[in-house]
Structure 1
Amino acid sequence: MEKILTIDGRQVKFKSTGAFLLKYKAQFGRDALQDLYKLQTAIDKNNEIINVEALDLEVMYNIAWSLAKTADPSLPPPIEWLDTFSEFPLNDIIPELQEMIQRCLSSTVSSKKKA
Structure 2
Amino acid sequence: MEKTITIDGKQVRLKTTAATPKRFKIQFGRDYFAELLKFAKVLEPLQTDMKKNEVVAGESINLKNISFESLSLLDFDTLYDIVWVLAKSADNSIPDPLTWLDQFDSFPIAEIMPEIQELLAHSIKTEKK
TM-score, normalised to structure 2, is 0.80
Which structure dedicates a bigger proportion of its chain to helix? Answer: 2
Deviations 1:59-84 (A, max 9, x none): 11111000000000011111110011
Determine the C-alpha separation between the residues in 2 that align with 1:52 and 1:31. Answer: 20
What are structure 2's unaligned runs of at least 5 residues?
51-60
Partner AA of 1:55 in structure 2: L
Higher RCO, Cα 8 Å, sep 6+ = 2
Residue 38 (structure 1) shift: 1.4
1:81 to 92, 100, 103: 100
Determine the C-alpha separation between the residues in 1 that align with 2:128 and 2:94. Answer: 32
For residue 85 of structure 2, what is the aligned residue in structure 1?
Answer: 66
For residue 66 of structure 2, what is the aligned residue in structure 1?
Answer: 49
| Pairing 1:24–2:24 present | yes
Determine the C-alpha separation between the residues in 2 that align with 1:9 and 1:39. Answer: 25
What are structure 1's unaligned runs of at least 5 residues?
111-115
Partner AA of 2:23 in structure 1: K
Check whether the contact 2:4–2:12 (CA below 8 A) recurs between aligned residues: yes
**Taking every aligned residue pair, what percent have the same amino acid on both sides?**
41
Q: What's the RMSD between the two structures over aligned residues?
A: 1.3
Determine the C-alpha separation between the residues in 1 that align with 2:128 and 2:16. Answer: 17
Check whether the contact 1:42–1:53 (CA below 8 A) recurs between aligned residues: no
* 3-state DSSP of counterpart to 1:17: coil
Determine the C-alpha separation between the residues in 1 that align with 2:87 and 2:113. Answer: 12
Residue 108 (structure 1) shift: 2.3
- After superposing the two structures, state which structure 1 stretch, 43-52 or 55-64, moved more: 43-52
Q: Which runs of 4+ in 1 moved over 6 A?
A: none
Residue 95 (structure 1) shift: 1.4
Residue 10 (structure 1) shift: 1.2
TM-score, normalised to structure 1, is 0.89
